[in-house]
């Protein structure tokens, strides 16, 4: 049996790995799919999925969105820090990545002019933004303030 933290409510669930291969496990407390738990990796969002994956999800937990581009050196520098934060989240918050080159509508909607830009959403609203490379502790502190 493995313990999986629900990405929606943070409840810890015992999951039988053998049974989970055949049936998708769900949270015993809120009923959310435990497959939505990305295994400690940031979730990729797009113009098409942004409203559902970020705005709607931020009502139950804060969501940090990394606005990045493949050609951006500082974006590549900050990526491992965000991977670490995602792995340490334990369902308390969610980390998502938005490629600004592939998703111009959302980039324009939030006035992203410089990358990397980190946007923090809570209760469906943008509550904080961080522009440029910051240390992991600074990002974690700004995110923790929203939990």
Structure tokens at 106: 């959302």
Is residue 75 annotated as part of the catalytic site, yes or no? yes
Is residue 72 annotated as part of the catalytic site, yes or no? yes
Catalytically annotated residue among 6, 9, 27, 75: 75
Run of H or E including 1 = none
For the CA atoms of 73, 121, 146, 97, the dihedral, rounded to the nearest 10 degrees, stands at -30
Catalytically annotated residue among 9, 27, 30, 72: 72
Dist CA 144 CA 121 (whole Å):
12
As separate numbers, helices (DSSP H) first and strands (DSSP E) second, the chain gives 5, 7
Dist CA 145 CA 142 (whole Å):
5
Active-site residues: which are they?
Answer: 72, 75
């Amino acid at each position: 049996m493995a313990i999986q933290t629900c990405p929606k409510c943070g409840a810890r669930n015992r999951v039988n790995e053998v049974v989970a291969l055949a049936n998708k496990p769900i949270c015993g407390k809120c009923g959310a799919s435990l497959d939505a738990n990305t295994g400690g990796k940031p979730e990729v969002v797009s113009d098409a999925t942004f409203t559902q994956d970020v705005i709607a999800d931020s009502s139950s937990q804060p969501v940090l969105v990394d606005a990045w581009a493949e050609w951006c050196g500082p974006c590549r520098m900050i990526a491992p820090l965000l991977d670490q934060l995602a792995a340490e989240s334990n369902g308390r918050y969610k980390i998502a990545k938005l490629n600004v080159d592939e998703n111009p509508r959302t980039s324009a909607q939030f006035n992203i002019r410089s990358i990397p830009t980190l946007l923090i959403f809570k209760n469906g609203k943008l509550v904080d933004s961080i522009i440029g490379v910051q240390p992991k502790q600074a990002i974690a502190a700004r995110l923790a303030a929203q939990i």
